[in-house]
Structure 1
Amino acid sequence: MSRPPSRSSPVSVFAQRSARAGQARARSQQAAQRPSISGVAQQAGVSVATVSRVLNGHENVRPATRDKVLAAIDASGYRVNELARNLRTAESRLLLTMVPDFGNPFYAEIVRGIDSVARQHGYFMLLCDTGADPGRERSYFDMLRRRRADGAICLDPATIQQALGDASHALPWVACCEFDPSVGVPYAGIDNYQAAGDAVRHLLARGHRRIGLINSDVDYLYARLRQQGYLDALSDAGITPDPRWRMNLNSLDYEAGAAAAAMLTQQADAPSAIFAVSDTLAIGVIHGLRSVGKRVPDDVAVAGFDDISLAAQIDPPLTTIAQPMRELGETAARLLLQRLANPQAEVPGVLLPHRLVIRRST
């Protein structure tokens, strides 16, 4: 025989209601104890509106004030309700960084610079490996079209132009390192023509007349500019560049540099110095020369480009053109935030200074 359903006693019902009320009070107290935007403002000695501008990445906040607000946010543990804000503002607070080759250490410090500025302004950064493939670039830009991301920084804009054509102008992105001023997209980079000329003039000053060039694919603007800087520096010194001294590669990795160096040394009148347009190529060149019994710099001098961390560690340490990698990333991120804050504004391109770092490879 089944038992009739039991009924809760008045005492147990009262206990359950009291427990629920206690839980509600505890949740209310926890919410009251959570850091608030007004608490951050009070701690930083600014208005709530100023804290809001810092959190939303607006540029009209003095750097010292922004630093004070960010310090107060860190100290208080305040966290923005990202979901609520995104629904309210139709923002994702996500920035894409498109890198063509994760294996190239040149990009690492640039990415750190981008991420640093993004976090300071309340954004997250998503690192995208494009492999210099137009289809993959297009799929990432679809995230911008669908508002899954707010903006993008691209380190391979030539591929973007190939993937998107004229449609790329309507999307919020900036170029970093590789750029084309005629495209009309904000950029952060260096003067590649002048930098390459500086490297070649250094080799000329060391007494070299037969200077080889190991270059990237001339479909890239930076490769064309560095090549022209090389050619003009030789011409200005009264040297007619020998086409046999130049090699264009479709790879920037160590193995490609080593193979190219071995081929250059097989010539009857081989170069006594080699300028490579990236440090990864130049480091490969040093290994390639060593493999065929050539000493650096006694037999062949070598200069590179970028000043990645490994450049100072190899034997012999590499003479190179130093790019301000961290600053390039930070500048590109700030340009993108300016574009997002005011889509109608004319955001300029920025050229940062390079410098020649002389080490024992020349």
Structure 2
Amino acid sequence: MKELPSINAVAKLADVSIATVSRVLNNSKPVNADTRRRVEAAVAQLGYRTNAAGRSLAMAQSHLLMVLVPDFANPFYAQIVQGVESVTRQAGYKIVLTDASGGESPHGTALDALYNRLADGVINLAHLDDDAAIVSEVQQLPWVNCSEFLPDSGVPYVSIDHRQAAIDAVQYLLNRGHRRIALISADETYRWARLRHEGYELAMLRAGLAPDPALVRTASSTDYEAGSQAVGGLMALLEPPTAVFAVSDTLAIGAIKALRRAGRRVPDDVAVMGFDDLPLSAVFEPGLTTIGQPMRELGATAAEILLARLRDERLPSRTLAHQLVVRDSA
């Protein structure tokens, strides 16, 4: 079946916002003649067809909410989605999970769904560029960012204080006597990864320790194998670290597995600290010392904020509490 062009493609070709395309197609608000001609020309050139189901629902609701998920394999996101679903189910909504890891703009897909009435609202877990056009669009829509957010953007969000959480993690290792503490970071286009890196450096500086670039590795992903590969490079150093702070539990568990294969004992030879407190972290051996995020509460709170927006109510953004969970790995 031929893939139909999206409203996002029309907006790009006409060099206007998606909202403007929607106004032209639906005659909902006045648009100047030149802009209307550009939009109509783009529609004709691309062969765009407005969605019939969307038009029929123009004055109704789909009772579907879209959740943009960056990595379906990451159990962190699964926990958040469970929190979302626990709230939306009671309110009579179903959720649609959308893969936000591909090359196409997931936010364009979500905007298409909103403007065509295929979804009533969006919970975004994916990286959101500080793009003024996109931000101005989602400010006016039933859209909530979860974990990943843009500060001072006017787009509601729920998250934790990632920087302070990382400071707490590294300070715990410092208090245990460690001075050569390594960091396994992740893709720092994500704000949470940047903030955790910043927290690591701040904690080291406050302890009078200059951060050593040789002790920082950026993993290719957040899966277990990426953690194994990252810690392998760290252990190959002439002066390897005595402790490792990984910015996710999956990376930390991968690191522990690699350390075991190399004959290193955790925590006797190398202490390992994670981040998230996934269910697996409590049953893995050794039990993972980590920063606990209230993952289900993050999802549930995001859903509550979104449902309030659908009722034309405005709930404030929320920063939830994290906690240090001490087990056996550090």
The answer to whether the superposition gives a TM-score over 0.5 is: yes
Shift of 1:152: 0.5
Unaligned runs of 5+ in 1: 1-82
Q: Give RMSD over aligned pairs.
A: 2.0
1:259 and 2:259 correspond: no
CA distance in 2, matches of 1:165, 1:333: 20
User: Is this contact kept in 2: 1:132–1:156, CA < 8 A?
Assistant: no
Q: Which amino acid aligns with 1:329?
A: G
Q: CA deviation at 1:165?
A: 5.4
Residue type at the aligned position of 2:328:
R
> Do the aligned residues in 2 keep the contact of 1:214 with 1:274 (CA within 8 Å)?
yes
What amino acid sits opposite 2:109 in the alignment? S
- Output aligned runs, 1:347-358, within 5 Å: 347-358=315-326
Counterpart Cα distance in 2 of 1:240 and 1:168: 41
Instruction: Give the SS at the match of 2:114.
Output: helix
Q: Equivalences for 1:1-362 in 2 at 5 Å?
A: 89-131=59-101, 133-158=103-128, 161=131, 164=134, 166-342=136-312, 346-362=314-330
- Tell me, in whole angstroms, the C-alpha distance in 2 between the residues paired with 1:158 and 1:323: 21
Please identify which structure carries the higher helix content.
1
* Equivalent pair of 1:137/1:160 in contact (CA under 8 Å): no
CA distance in 2, matches of 1:226, 1:87: 43
Which residue type is aligned with residue 341 of structure 1?
A: R
Q: Distance in 2 between matches of 1:87 and 1:274?
A: 53
Residue identity in the other structure for 1:97: V
**Contact 2:58–2:117 (CA<8 Å) still a contact in 1?**
no
Decide whether the 8 Å contact of 1:279 with 1:320 is kept in 2.
yes
Superimposed CA distance per residue, residues 127-152 of structure 1 (whole angstroms, 9 cap, x where no aligned partner): 11221544343223211111111000
For the Cα contact (< 8 Å) 2:127–2:190, is it kept in 1? Answer: no
Give the partner amino acid of 2:226. Answer: A
In 1, distance between residues paired with 2:88 and 2:170? 37
Q: What are the ranges of 5 or more consecutive residues in structure 2 without an aligned counterpart?
A: 1-52
- Residue 272 of structure 2 aligns with an amino acid whose one-letter code is V
**1:158 alignment partner, SS class:** coil
Structure 1 residues 193 and 304: alpha-carbon distance in aligned structure 2, compared to 1, 3 A threshold: same
Alpha-carbon distance in 2 for matches of 1:194, 1:357: 15
Q: In structure 2, the residue corresponding to 1:228 is in which secondary structure?
A: helix
What is the deviation of 1:274?
A: 0.2
CA distance in 2: counterparts of 1:163 and 1:262, whole angstroms: 42
Deviations 1:308-333 (A, max 9, x none): 01111111110000000111111000
Shift of residue 119 of structure 1?
A: 1.2
Change beyond 3 A, Cα 1:255–1:162: farther
Aligned to 1:30: none
Question: Is the Cα contact below 8 Å between 1:186 and 1:348 reproduced in 2?
Answer: yes
Segments ≥4 residues shifted beyond 4 Å: 86-89, 159-163
Cα deviation, residue 282, structure 1? 0.4
Q: Does the 8 Å contact 2:275/2:292 carry over to 1?
A: yes
State the identity as a percent.
51
CA positional deviation for 1:293 = 1.7
The AA in structure 2 aligned to 1:358 is: V
TM-score normalized with structure 2 length = 0.79
Q: CA deviation at 1:346?
A: 4.4
Aligned residues of 2:294 and 2:320 also touching (Cα < 8 A)? yes
Report the AA paired with residue 116 of structure 2.
R
- Contact 2:76 / 2:278 at 8 angstroms: preserved in 1? yes
Deviation at 1:247, TM superposition (A): 1.1
